[in-house]
Amino acid sequence: YVVKESRHAYHYAMKLASRLRTNDQIKVLVVDDSAMSRKHIRNLLERQLYNVIEAEDGLDAIEQISIQPDIRLIITDFEMPNMDGFKLVNEIRTKFDKRGLAIIGLSSQESGILSAQFIKHGANDFLNKPFYPEEFYCRITQNLEAIELIEEIEDAANRDYLTGLYNRRAFFEFSKTVLREAWAHQLPVSFSLIDLDNFKYINDHYGHAVGDEVLKRFATLMQRYCEKFLFARVGGEEFALIMSGLDTTKALALVNGLRQAFVEQTMECGATTFNVSFSGGVVTESNGNLDAMYNKADELLYRAKEAGRNMVLA
């Protein structure tokens, strides 16, 4: 019952968040060699308050997309000098690999076959010129909603229902980028494994629902303390954290700060109050892979448990 409820609340919150995006926050790039045509489309878009930018041809468009990663929709003409609409769509799909970017191709009515070709090259939709504003708005809204839905689904697949934190699979996937960037900048990387203490006891004595509440409280605290870093719920009551740029001393200080704050939180179950602690391991490397760090941190975590819990070892 409790899990169902929180799952529902989570989806509701995500829906709400996406609805809160207003049109002026949606950047649309209009690519057309005809200034008149660009102006026409810009006017239609601005009537709905979209944030519009323009490009004269494919090359110009590629440059704009490289420097403005928040473009969500591209409306592109077919016939343009330097790089035509098909080449542009191809280029965008190979270069930017973004499912979060919708492309609508424009073609004139006499060349109806172009429309299908646009889709083959990777566009999401097309419009035949001339078009009615109603059709234009319909296609824009539908395509933007489709991307938003994809993003919501992708995000949900990366998260743990109970806490909203990244799940184990997402953690391992995102860690590749985080580590690659850290090593490229020759930064130290500290990794920490955290495991709540005597959690089985909490479930057995206060009930599973209270156990869930403890996990959520810990997740909220982790979000506050670790917001700059990649972290996730990697197991039942186990969490992992990658701290790029932090040496052992700094990483230990951070995880111990989190531990202190968590221990001081008063948990409630009816009239009873109690406190929960965690144990952790911290390892630092200036090069290496996640599996090796994970194993070492797990070993330190095990020793922290053996030594009495509520401590972090490095």
Residue nearest to Mg ion (CB): 79
CB of residue 254 to Mg ion, shortest distance in Å: 20
Amino acid identity at 91: E
> In whole angstroms, what is the distance from residue 279 CA to residue 305 CA?
6
Q: Which of 237, 238, 268, 306 is catalytic?
A: 237
What is the footprint of ligand GH3 within residues 128-187 (CB under 6 A)?
A: 162
Selected binder of Mg ion within 60, 77, 91, 148 (CB under 5 A): 77
Q: Quick check: 195 binds Mg ion (CB under 5 A)?
A: yes
Judged by CB under 5 A, which stretch of 84-92, 129-137, 229-237, 248-256 contacts Mg ion?
Answer: 229-237
Q: Quick check: 91 binds ligand GH3 (CB under 6 A)?
A: no
Judged by CB under 6 A, which stretch of 41-49, 91-99, 118-126, 197-205 contacts ligand GH3?
Answer: 197-205
> In whole angstroms, what is the distance from residue 270 CA to residue 200 CA?
19
Q: Which is nearer to ligand GH3, 129 or 309 (CB)?
A: 309
93 interface partner picked from ligand GH3, Mg ion, none, CB below 5 to 8 A per type: none
Q: Quick check: 199 binds ligand GH3 (CB under 6 A)?
A: yes
Helices (H) and strands (E) in the chain — how many of each? Answer: 11, 12
Selected binder of Mg ion within 131, 137, 174, 199 (CB under 5 A): 199
For every residue of 124-153, DSSP letters joined together read: SEEEEES--HHHHHHHHHHHHHHHHHHHHH
Per DSSP, 286 falls in state S
Q: Quick check: 204 binds ligand GH3 (CB under 6 A)?
A: no
79 interface partner picked from ligand GH3, Mg ion, none, CB below 5 to 8 A per type: Mg ion
Selected binder of ligand GH3 within 203, 220, 248, 256 (CB under 6 A): 203
> In whole angstroms, what is the distance from residue 188 CA to residue 259 CA?
22
- # chain residues binding Mg ion, by CB under 5 A: 9
**Furthest C-alpha separation in the chain:** 79
Instruction: Collapse the DSSP code of 195 into the 3-class scheme (helix H, G, I; strand E, B; otherwise coil) and give the result.
Output: strand
Host H or E run for residue 305: helix 290-306
Range list of β-strands (E), 258-305: 267-269, 272-274, 278-285
Q: Which pairing describes strands 230-235 and 267-269: parallel, antiparallel, or unpaired?
A: unpaired
Cis status of the peptide bond prior to 130, with omega within 30 of 0? yes
Q: Quick check: 5 binds ligand GH3 (CB under 6 A)?
A: no
Q: Quick check: 302 binds ligand GH3 (CB under 6 A)?
A: no
Q: Which is nearer to ligand GH3, 114 or 215 (CB)?
A: 215
Contact 231, 240 (CB under 8 A): yes
Binding stretches for ligand GH3 (CB under 6 A): 162, 195-201, 203, 208, 211-212, 215, 236-237, 305, 309
Q: Which residues are catalytic?
A: 237
